[in-house]
Structure 1
Amino acid sequence: MRPLDVDNRMDVSARFADFAHREAYGNSERYDTWCRAIAADNDICAQIATLPPNKQQPNLVLAATRYLGVPEVPPEQFLEWLRETWDDVRHEVLARSTQTNEPGRTAAILPLLAQIEGPIALIEVGASAGLCLYPDRYSHVYDDTVRIDPASGPSTVVTRCTTAGGVPIPSALPEIVSRSGVDLNPLDVAADDDMRWLHALIWPGQTERDERLDAAAAIARAEPPTIVRGDLNEQIDALVDAVPDGVTAVVQHTAVLAYLDMAGRDRFYGQMARLAARWISFEGRGVFPQIDATIPESTQHDENRFVLALDGQAQAFATAHGQRLHWL
């Protein structure tokens, strides 16, 4: 292991402490306590700091432990397991990427998608296994009172979202006639190892998400999307150009562009301004300063950290997995 300076180690500690406080707290007690334990352990932080910066994400490190079968144990035992298994954890972290494919995010996207005139060709960049390409095949429940089902009847996949600020909840689901996407490493819901990784990305204690993932995967296996392997900035032109006349191209992405550098994000923003497609963005604040600039000043301090935007204009704040939506 290469020598580390204190600042580098503390960067890792701060990152895991922040993840515990802002993301895991109230959502996964196990991840909350594990991340706090990592943040307080200089040796573990030093190990994690040997990883490339883009591989030090808490979600990725923790998912690798889940993939390798970490037991759900108290923090002290977790740290002991992590020390003993570090070489294997490091191998998985370096070989994989964070490809959380949460169907629940479609609940946040749906109010925007339903406003767009169809029929729709839905295109996703950073599509993972493509499970967010089926909002019309899922049932959606808002505020435990409003339920929207597919025309064929209730779905085996049910999303749940609480709302604030007058969300324009649709009365019907959009007509989607094609589903396509691009990913650097597309996952296949028919492959056991890919499904194992997708389940590893779900946080401990979130059994509803595990069940929803399996149900969504079954839908995707029955009607597979077309996902090409490649760089999103290189492939998006061709995907939009392939949409036939009379069909509205809609490009969407959820928590993906943060993994590009600023030059890559700016390039994508420019392409979306130029292409003949509608654009739904679901990204953390700071990913697109151009979109953040459209957030009303009075709502800048909302606790939800993701910004939902249509055609480059902020429309709502949301939580990472679509559980809450606050309309601007």
Structure 2
Amino acid sequence: MTIAMTYAEFAVREARGVSPAYERLSLAVSRDDEVVALLGTLPPGKRQPTLLFGVVRFLGGPVDDPAAFHEFVVENWRAIEAESRTRATQTNEAGRCALLLPVLAALPQPLALLEVGASAGLCLYPDRYAYRYGDHVVGSGRPILDCTATGLTPPAGLPDVVWRAGLDLNPLDVTDPADVAWLDALIWPEHAHRRDRLRAAAAVAAADPPLLVRGDLVDDLPALAGRAPAGAMLVVFHTSVLYQVPARRREAFAEVVRGLPGHWIANEAPDVLSYDALPQPPDEALHNVLALDGTPLAWTRGHGQSIAWFA
């Protein structure tokens, strides 16, 4: 898929109905030969819309007007290129815990959570947040995570988490203002509720920081998993991470995680991990597949806003 096609597809399948600003911007970039040519000088894994838009926002550039965006990108390309090469789309969306909760609550307790691609570790606190599935509320913490659920009965309670750890090539620190500023820049322009959620979740993590280890998801996973306490059910999970990993490394990761004791929860785009058969998604928007130990369970949206259970 060409760079222009990638941006056009992002506009239609991910941004439409979710972020009017990013829909306009993505369509404009898809027709902008000069910006597309600049993106072509970056490695393939550094050309995605969310990274470009996040870097521009991080540098104080405009994302609400395509003409102003074009001018900023062209004039500041050296700085944008440098940031793009060193940063990654480490969107640490606590709202994704609403997708994990139905699975985590149903597993044998207590749990030892290990997140791959943990960023700042905000998804390692599913037991500290509150959830609202329509009229059904679970928990009493903050932030309150709203999720539209179809096809399942929401869980009655929260999981019992006794250990939490994260693995990331570049773990972020929620007590570092620059790291929090980068997480904020990755939130889409209109999503004030997600900014509020980020601040509330960051406060939870800062009060009781998780164990975050800098390392590779294949080479360093077994050693970190081995640090989980005896008597707790190990759960390795990841959400919207593996699309950044080359296909061969994904396969190696799947082989490693299947060899560990405990359970494996994946929440990734349908073309990232191989499944024998999947039903049709609810609509044409981009959905992820929530799976437990390689068995697909539900369609989910990227920021945790909805889950459609089909298992």
- TM-score interval w.r.t. the shorter chain? over 0.9
Q: Residues 72 and 58 (structure 1 numbering): CA distance in 2 closer, same or farther, change over 3 Å?
A: closer
Q: Residues 24 and 235 (structure 1 numbering): CA distance in 2 closer, same or farther, change over 3 Å?
A: same
Query: Does the alignment pair 1:200 with 2:203?
Result: no
- Equivalent in the alignment of 1:310: 292
**Mapped partners of 2:262, 2:136: distance in 1:** 30
> Contact 1:240/1:277 (CA < 8 Å) preserved in 2?
no
- Equivalent in the alignment of 2:131: 140
- Equivalent in the alignment of 2:228: 243
Find the residue that maps to 1:233 and give its secondary structure.
Answer: coil
Find the residue that maps to 1:270 and give its secondary structure.
Answer: helix
Q: Deviations over 1:234-264 (max 9, x none)?
A: 1211122222321100111001111111111
Deviation at 1:73, TM superposition (A): 3.7
**Mapped partners of 1:274, 1:55: distance in 2:** 31
Find the residue that maps to 1:62 and give its secondary structure.
Answer: helix
- Equivalent in the alignment of 2:280: 299
* Structure 1 residues without counterparts, runs of 5 or longer: 1-9
Deviation at 1:156, TM superposition (A): 2.3
- Equivalent in the alignment of 2:69: 78
- Equivalent in the alignment of 2:100: 109
Among 195, 210, 233, the residue aligned to 1:210: 195
**Mapped partners of 2:281, 2:59: distance in 1:** 40
Q: Residues 73 and 326 (structure 1 numbering): CA distance in 2 closer, same or farther, change over 3 Å?
A: closer
- Equivalent in the alignment of 1:259: 244
Find the residue that maps to 1:135 and give its secondary structure.
Answer: coil
> Contact 2:56/2:62 (CA < 8 Å) preserved in 1?
no
Find the residue that maps to 1:234 and give its secondary structure.
Answer: coil
> Contact 1:302/1:317 (CA < 8 Å) preserved in 2?
no
Deviation at 1:302, TM superposition (A): 5.0
Query: Does the alignment pair 1:186 with 2:171?
Result: yes
Structure 1 stretch displaced more, 69-78 or 93-102 = 69-78
Counterpart residue identity of residue 289, structure 2: V
**Mapped partners of 2:245, 2:300: distance in 1:** 21
Counterpart residue identity of residue 66, structure 2: P
Deviation at 1:71, TM superposition (A): 2.9
Counterpart residue identity of residue 64, structure 1: V
Among 293, 302, 308, the residue aligned to 1:326: 308
Q: Residues 201 and 250 (structure 1 numbering): CA distance in 2 closer, same or farther, change over 3 Å?
A: same
**Mapped partners of 2:63, 2:247: distance in 1:** 37
Counterpart residue identity of residue 103, structure 1: A
Find the residue that maps to 2:220 and give its secondary structure.
Answer: helix
What TM-score do the two structures reach when normalised by structure 1?
0.91
Q: Residues 81 and 100 (structure 1 numbering): CA distance in 2 closer, same or farther, change over 3 Å?
A: same
Q: Residues 73 and 310 (structure 1 numbering): CA distance in 2 closer, same or farther, change over 3 Å?
A: closer
- How do 1:282-297 and structure 2 match up within 5 A? 282-289=267-274, 292-295=275-278
* Structure 2 residues without counterparts, runs of 5 or longer: none
Among 18, 27, 41, the residue aligned to 1:27: 18
Q: Residues 312 and 324 (structure 1 numbering): CA distance in 2 closer, same or farther, change over 3 Å?
A: same
CA RMSD of aligned residues (A): 1.4
Counterpart residue identity of residue 240, structure 2: A
Query: Does the alignment pair 1:155 with 2:110?
Result: no
**Mapped partners of 1:27, 1:265: distance in 2:** 29
Instruction: Work out the number of aligned pairs and report it.
Output: 309
Q: Deviations over 1:210-236 (max 9, x none)?
A: 010011001100000001101011121
- Equivalent in the alignment of 1:277: 262
> Contact 2:22/2:63 (CA < 8 Å) preserved in 1?
no
> Contact 1:294/1:313 (CA < 8 Å) preserved in 2?
no
**Mapped partners of 2:163, 2:59: distance in 1:** 36
**Mapped partners of 1:113, 1:274: distance in 2:** 20
**Mapped partners of 1:236, 1:73: distance in 2:** 40
Deviation at 1:294, TM superposition (A): 4.3
User: Kindly, what percent of the aligned residue pairs are identical?
Assistant: 43
> Contact 2:282/2:308 (CA < 8 Å) preserved in 1?
no
**Mapped partners of 2:231, 2:277: distance in 1:** 31
Q: Deviations over 1:25-66 (max 9, x none)?
A: 111111111111111111111111111111001110110001
Greater percentage in helix: 1
Counterpart residue identity of residue 299, structure 1: Q
Find the residue that maps to 2:234 and give its secondary structure.
Answer: strand
Q: Deviations over 1:147-199 (max 9, x none)?
A: 111xxxx22211111012x2231000010011101100000000111001000
**Mapped partners of 1:66, 1:326: distance in 2:** 32
**Mapped partners of 1:106, 1:72: distance in 2:** 28
Structure 1 stretch displaced more, 241-250 or 17-26 = 241-250
Among 188, 205, 223, the residue aligned to 1:220: 205
